[in-house]
Amino acid sequence: MEKRVVLELRGRNPSQVKELNLDNCRSTTIDGLTDEYTNLEVLSLNNVGLTTLKGFPKLPNLLKLELSDNRISNGLNFLNGCKKLTYLNLSGNKIKNLETLKPLEEFENLKNLDLFNNEVTNIEDYRSKVFALRPSLECLDGYDKEDREVDSDSLEEMNGNNDSDDDDSDDDVEEEEDDDLSLCEVYNENLEESSASPLYEAEGYLDEEYDQDYEDGDEENDANGEHNSKNQDGDNKNENPEESTRGKKRKHEDEDEN
């Protein structure tokens, strides 16, 4: 465990570390962790093989402690130096009786406790007795006092993780707004450059020529229209004498018959 602790430090001072993950490092005892980790808030020791918590350091700012899948059967009193602890995961250990849990009475801030897959969970009225042991407790093995399953958001809030997530989301929104603003500026600059370019002016010139051609075409069409209308008028005039001649001829034939 000591080598793993040094590796996770990455050259930092222990007082600078806020989160430490030592999962699967394999050790039966606490080794390499000291009281120097004064600002540590999250410590994970899952599946390490711990049989005792003797030598556990005082961590005054520790909020979340993961100790699942070890071989711990007693000695929770060694955690008394972690007064701010709000979340404790002891699932998959060897805790058999309620007496072993008595030290938890001292943890006034404890809200979330997980004892799943320990023999103590088989005791009659186990849940009500554990809630009575620590009145601040809001969640036991994933369920509240009314035996209702606690959702993930509520669990995160109990563990004190919401504030940092909100800050991160705000930063992401600000970065996205900055990106959008920069893209708009680039687009506007490109638009201004294109409007002032010779090519744009040439295109405008071509548009003027097109408009002039269109106007000339309209005049030509108007002239053709007038010519066509005159021709039609002439045709109509030519048709009128013929109709009058036919009328006279028909009248003359009628007189001969009489």
* CA atoms 154, 155, 159, 162: torsion sign: negative
Compute CA distances 162 → 38, 41, 153, 157, whole Å.
Answer: 22, 14, 8, 6
- The 3-state DSSP class for residue 252 equals helix
Q: Which residues pair with 140 in a beta bridge?
A: 113, 143
Local structure of residue 89 (DSSP, 8 states): E
Q: For 8, phi and psi rounded to 5 degrees?
A: -70, -25
Q: Which amino acid is at 19?
A: E
Whether the Cβ atoms of residue 94 and residue 107 lie closer than 8 Å to each other = no
Whether the Cβ atoms of residue 77 and residue 54 lie closer than 8 Å to each other = no
Interacting residues of 190 by C-beta distance below 8 A, sequence separation 6+: none
Give the tokens for residue 58. Answer: 């005082």
Residue-level pLDDT at 164:
44
Select from 99, 90, 102, 84 the least CA-distant residue to 53: 90
Q: Which helix (H) or strand (E) holds 19?
A: strand 19-21
Residue-level pLDDT at 155:
73
pTM passes above 0.75: no
Residue-level pLDDT at 157:
75
Residue-level pLDDT at 114:
98
Whether the Cβ atoms of residue 113 and residue 91 lie closer than 8 Å to each other = no
Select from 167, 139, 131 the least CA-distant residue to 155: 139
Give the tokens for residue 227. Answer: 């010519």
Mean pLDDT by runs of 10 across the 258 residues of the chain is 93 96 96 96 98 96 98 96 97 97 96 97 96 96 95 74 48 48 50 48 44 50 49 47 47 48
Give the tokens for residue 71. Answer: 């071989």
- The 3-state DSSP class for residue 120 equals helix
Residue-level pLDDT at 245:
44
Local structure of residue 160 (DSSP, 8 states): T
Interacting residues of 133 by C-beta distance below 8 A, sequence separation 6+: 98, 101, 102, 104, 105
Q: Which residues pair with 89 in a beta bridge?
A: 66, 114
Instruction: Kindly report the number of other CB atoms within 10 A of residue 92's CB atom.
Output: 18
